[in-house]
């Protein structure tokens, strides 16, 4: 479903992402882990066509993310790590705008908007300007924007970051529900306990390079037998050990 073929990104002499080869199958919930600055957000932005790859390409459903961006977005829902919305527009209006831009007719857009806002628990703040929302409410609104057109693929950048425990649990449940209904979810996070609970496969990036990837069981076996994901992560992203030595 999601394929990265040698995806690279350079900023002058600095390589933010070394050639990345990755495949996420349909229905998988893939966790993209890594320390800060490892290149997670860069990868996601290249998947969304926001950044232009310096080399290689990214494909979603067989379509190139950069050259066929508009077509790709039909199937993709995106949540950035710090969603910012328009000034002077209410949450309800923004969600309706997003629904209409995805091609839904007006009445259906309005009905879906009302339903999603109720589901996400935002019903009492819909009439407030979106820029006044707290971080949690903004993320919920962003997630609603990502789900409103019922996409096949969800690309989420740090979805739980900044949420209180209840909201975090609600979002996790939604994501699991979505995965169960056949959606593919590509999620970047540095919250390991959630990743452990929810993801079917994980990949760990460190300094722009995909160091290891596989299911949780495989990783544990390979890196730290009997250990938790946290131990695996710390071992793999150890600063003093060369990245290659951490994998087999």
Partner 1 sequence: MSPPGFEGAAPLGVSTALLIKLRLRRLHNQMRAASQRKKKKDNDPKKAGEQATARRTGNPGKQGSNVVLYVFMPMMLFVFGSITRNAVFNLHETLDPGHFWRTVEFAAPFVVGLAFLLLVMWLSSLLLTIASGELAKPDWDLEWLVTLPIRAHTLLWARILERSVVNPTGFMALAPACTIIAWYSGHRWMAPVLGLMAAWPLLLLAALFRTLLDTGLRLRMSAAQLRNLHAVISVLAIVGMYLAMSLGMAGKATFMLGIAATMPDWLRWTPMGLAVLALNERDGLHACFLWAALAALTYAIVWLGIQWLHHQLRHGVVSGGGRDTARGAAAVAAPGSVPAVVPDAAPNYWSRIGAVQRRELTLLSRDRNFLVQCLVIPLLIVGGQLLLGSSGVATTMWHEPNVLASVAFGLAAYSLSMSAFQTLNTEGHALWLLYTFPRPIEAVLKDKAKLWSVLTLAYPLAMFCAGLFLMPQVGWKFATAAVTAFLGIPIYSFIAVALGVFGSNPLEQQQNQKVKPEYVYLYMGLAGLYIYAIVTPNVFQRIVFMVLSLLLAFALWQKARDRLPYLLDADVAPPARVSTSDGLIAAMVFFVVQGIVVAIGGLSGATILVAFSIAGAFTYSMMRYVYARARTEGVPRIVGERPQPLIGVIMGLAAAALGVVYLFLVRDTPLMDEAQRANNAYSQLGLWVLPLALIAAPIFEEFIFRGLIFGGLQRSFGLWPAALASAAVFACLHPPISMLPVFGLGLATAIAYARTGSLLAPMLAHATYNACVIGAQLLFK
Min dist. Cβ of residue 122 to partner 1 (A): 11
Min dist. Cβ of residue 157 to partner 1 (A): 10
Min dist. Cβ of residue 106 to partner 1 (A): 7
Q: Which of 5, 57, 61, 110 touches partner 1 by CB under 8 A? A: 110
Min dist. Cβ of residue 66 to partner 1 (A): 7
Q: Which of 6, 37, 71, 164 touches partner 1 by CB under 8 A? A: 71
Q: Which of 25, 131, 180, 241 touches partner 1 by CB under 8 A? A: 131
Strand-strand pairing, 201-206 and 29-33: parallel
Give the interface size with partner 1 as a residue count (CB under 8 A): 56
Q: Which residues of 93-117 are buried (b: 16+ CB within 10 A; e: fewer)?
A: bbbbebbbebebeeeebbebbeebb
Does the footprint of partner 1 cover residue 132 (CB under 8 A)?
yes
Tokens representing 156 are 């989420």
Tokens representing 49 are 């066509």
Residue in this structure with the two tokens 């990783």, named with its chain if needed: 219
Q: What burial class does residue 176 get, using C-beta atoms within 10 Å of its C-beta: 0-12 exposed, 13-18 middle, 19+ buried?
A: middle
Min dist. Cβ of residue 163 to partner 1 (A): 20
Rounded distance between C-alpha atoms, residue 197 and residue 210, angstroms: 21
Report how far apart, in Å, the C-alpha atoms of 29 and of each of 18, 127, 175, 212 are. 23, 34, 9, 16
Q: Which of 31, 34, 49, 203 touches partner 1 by CB under 8 A? A: 49
Does the footprint of partner 1 cover residue 62 (CB under 8 A)?
no
Rounded distance between C-alpha atoms, residue 44 and residue 84, angstroms: 17
Q: Which helix (H) or strand (E) holds 215?
A: strand 209-215
Backbone angles phi, psi at 64, to 5 degrees: -75, 130
Does the footprint of partner 1 cover residue 34 (CB under 8 A)?
no
Report how far apart, in Å, the C-alpha atoms of 134 and of each of 47, 91, 117, 173, 236 are. 27, 12, 15, 21, 35
Does the footprint of partner 1 cover residue 143 (CB under 8 A)?
no
Q: Which of 54, 61, 161, 247 touches partner 1 by CB under 8 A? A: 54
Does the footprint of partner 1 cover residue 208 (CB under 8 A)?
no
Residues in 89-108 at the binding interface with partner 1, rule: CB under 8 A: 89-90, 92-93, 96-98, 100-103, 106-107
What are the residues binding partner 1 (CB under 8 A)? 10-13, 45, 48-52, 54-55, 66, 69-74, 76-78, 80, 83-90, 92-93, 96-98, 100-103, 106-107, 110-111, 113-114, 117, 123, 126-129, 131-132, 145-146
């Amino acid at each position: 479903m999601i394929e990265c073929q040698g995806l690279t990104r350079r900023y002058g002499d600095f390589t933010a992402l070394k050639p990345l080869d990755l495949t996420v199958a349909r229905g998988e919930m893939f966790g993209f882990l890594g320390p800060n600055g490892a290149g997670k957000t860069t990868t996601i932005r290249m998947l969304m066509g926001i950044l232009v790859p310096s080399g290689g390409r990214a494909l979603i459903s067989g379509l190139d993310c950069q050259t066929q961006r508009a077509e790709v977005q039909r199937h993709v829902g995106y949540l950035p790590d710090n969603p910012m919305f328009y000034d002077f527009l209410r949450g309800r209006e923004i969600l309706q705008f997003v629904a209409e831009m995805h091609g839904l007719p007006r009445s259906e857009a309005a009905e879906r908007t009302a339903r999603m806002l109720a589901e996400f628990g935002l019903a009492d703040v819909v009439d407030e300007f979106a820029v006044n929302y707290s971080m949690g409410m903004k993320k919920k609104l962003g997630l609603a924007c990502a789900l409103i057109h019922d996409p096949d693929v969800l690309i989420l950048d740090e979805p739980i970051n900044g949420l209180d425990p209840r909201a975090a649990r609600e979002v996790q449940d939604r994501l699991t529900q979505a995965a169960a209904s056949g959606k593919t979810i590509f999620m970047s996070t540095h919250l390991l306990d959630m990743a452990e609970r929810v993801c079917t496969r994980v990949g760990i990036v460190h300094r722009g390079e995909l160091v290891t990837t596989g299911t949780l069981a495989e990783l544990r076996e390979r890196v730290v037998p009997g250990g938790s994901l946290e131990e695996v992560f710390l071992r793999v992203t150890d600063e003093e050990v060369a990245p290659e030595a951490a994998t087999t």
